[in-house]
Structure 1
Amino acid sequence: MRLKRITLSDHSDPALLDVIAPVLANAASDYGAAFFLSRLRGHWVEIIHVATPQTGVSYLHPGMGKRPLHACSCAKAIAALSPDLLSHDELNGQLKRYTERTISNREDLAAELDAIRAKGYAECVEELERGISSVATTLAKSGIGSTLSIGATASVRVFTPSMRKNIGQTLTAMSHELSCALGWGDAEENKRSA
């Protein structure tokens, strides 16, 4: 237990992936969709791991690397709990319109982040690319867990509104389990239910 606490306390990508990657792999197989882990790095969010289904059926891969704070579920989930990300001047001029559904002004983005906080998870429906949707939530409401998000992506044909709601609830339950497995359990659970 002591070694596990020491390993997890550094919050390095490999230490986090030891715990999170197997859970994402199981979800990818169960749902036939790609599941991913993202983390905040400075003033941007990066997808650092993707688990894909091993079913032989086609799926959408979200890719790795940086995501725009306003047009991707994993980044919006983290931004909703990190208001200082949006208070920096770096965001000015960065609300690039990727599709006709991309949020491109600060007021609409603020309203979207309020909705994410209320719902507990973020959605991206054709905001970054036409035909693609994703759902994501943070691992916790505060602390290091609020800078990490897990999510899933599929076509809008597969991720219908009811499926996105189901995935959002599944991700919320997964985030609680992962938070506990990472040793953030009781304190974070109290913050979640507050």
Structure 2
Amino acid sequence: MSNGLGDGATVQSVDRALTILKLLARDGELGVSELAATLGVHRSTAFRLVATLESHDLVEQDTDRGRYRLGVGVVRLAGATSARLDLVRESRAVTPALARAVGETVNVAVLAGREALYVDQVAGPSALQLHHWVGQRIPLHATSNGKALLAHAPAALREEVIAAGLPVLATRTVTDPGRLRAELAEVRRRGYATAVDELEDGLSAVAAPVLGADGSVVASLSASGPSFRMPETAIAAVAEQVMAAAQEVSARMGWFGPARR
């Protein structure tokens, strides 16, 4: 068990590293001696901090002058945040109409490691007791959003998810690796994923991928509701509406090619 001393030193180092990033954002370029003086630490401590930041591409060194500036890693982090904000904004121009059309809850999710992260939700007129999904992480193998994302993820990630185990969450959760692989291939062929009694008994959902400007899958869009209102016989019709909405969001995200199906 930690005695707390190491934890305190770690927190202090994180605080100093973040301060370095703020200083570089403000001043553009700074040398190690300037950073050490501002932080009130020894030069060797400042050097270790910037070296760690440099190893993560958060800062880079001007080889001619030996001064440091913000690196491309900061741009990547900012770009990821911006892309997610863009996704929510652009999808909101489409999802309320879909929720009204199908009468059910519409969710938007992104891939987050080996899970699906829900980033937006719009309730349809039939939703009475709404479960708030935004901010929640859901297993990829047991949800329509998860399967839509996993079907278009790199094969290595699909196998990683399978190797980690496919736990039973409801009556019809897919737990057989071969069956899941076959279903993901079918998702890629037909353009949408389904989940009926797989995350929760009595819950049905259908999802389609959302594409970014380069044609890669950046998110999934789903409609879900109780199985008595969305029986399996109705899923194909709902899927057409979901795919059309996903294609519209894709266009708003900069993709003008065919739908991914």
Normalized against structure 1, the TM-score is what?
A: 0.82
CA distance in 1, matches of 2:228, 2:202: 8
Q: Which moved more, 1:136-145 or 1:166-175?
A: 136-145
Q: 1:110 to 1:9 in 2, by over 3 A?
A: closer
Contact 1:34–1:51 (CA<8 Å) still a contact in 2?
Answer: yes
1:160 CA drift (Å): 1.5
**1:63 equivalenced with 2:103 (yes/no):** no
Aligned to 1:84: 156
Q: 1:39 to 1:67 in 2, by over 3 A?
A: same
CA distance in 2, matches of 1:24, 1:145: 20
Aligned to 2:184: 113
1:9 CA drift (Å): 9.1
Amino acid of the structure 2 residue aligned with 1:99: A
Contact 2:109–2:221 (CA<8 Å) still a contact in 1?
Answer: yes
Contact 1:34–1:152 (CA<8 Å) still a contact in 2?
Answer: yes
Q: Which moved more, 1:16-25 or 1:146-155?
A: 16-25
Q: 1:153 to 1:60 in 2, by over 3 A?
A: farther
CA distance in 2, matches of 1:37, 1:100: 24
Contact 1:102–1:128 (CA<8 Å) still a contact in 2?
Answer: yes
Q: Percent identity?
A: 24
Task: State the SS of the aligned residue for 2:92.
Answer: helix
Contact 2:192–2:243 (CA<8 Å) still a contact in 1?
Answer: yes
Amino acid of the structure 1 residue aligned with 2:133: G
Contact 2:98–2:241 (CA<8 Å) still a contact in 1?
Answer: no
Contact 1:38–1:45 (CA<8 Å) still a contact in 2?
Answer: yes
Q: Show structure 2 runs of 5+ residues with no match.
A: 1-78
**1:150 equivalenced with 2:229 (yes/no):** no
Q: Which moved more, 1:126-135 or 1:40-49?
A: 40-49
Normalized against structure 2, the TM-score is what?
A: 0.62
CA distance in 2, matches of 1:57, 1:36: 13
1:127 maps to which of 157, 176, 198: 198
Aligned to 1:137: 208
**1:32 equivalenced with 2:103 (yes/no):** yes
Contact 1:45–1:67 (CA<8 Å) still a contact in 2?
Answer: yes
1:138 CA drift (Å): 0.3
Aligned to 2:113: 42
1:146 CA drift (Å): 1.1
Aligned to 2:246: 175
Q: 1:21 to 1:31 in 2, by over 3 A?
A: same
Contact 1:74–1:122 (CA<8 Å) still a contact in 2?
Answer: yes
Contact 2:105–2:127 (CA<8 Å) still a contact in 1?
Answer: no
Amino acid of the structure 2 residue aligned with 1:61: H
Task: State the SS of the aligned residue for 2:224.
Answer: strand
Say which one has the larger Rg: 2
CA distance in 1, matches of 2:116, 2:122: 18
Q: Which gives a bigger RCO, structure 1 or 2 (Cα 8 Å, sep 6+)?
A: 1
1:22 CA drift (Å): 2.8
Aligned to 2:83: 12
Aligned to 2:5: none
CA distance in 2, matches of 1:182, 1:92: 33
Amino acid of the structure 2 residue aligned with 1:172: M
The superposition leaves residues 88-109 of structure 1 with CA deviations (integer Å, 9 ceiling, x where unpaired) of 2x54243001123111121111
Question: What RMSD, in angstroms, separates the aligned Cα atoms of the two structures?
Answer: 2.5
Task: State the SS of the aligned residue for 2:141.
Answer: coil
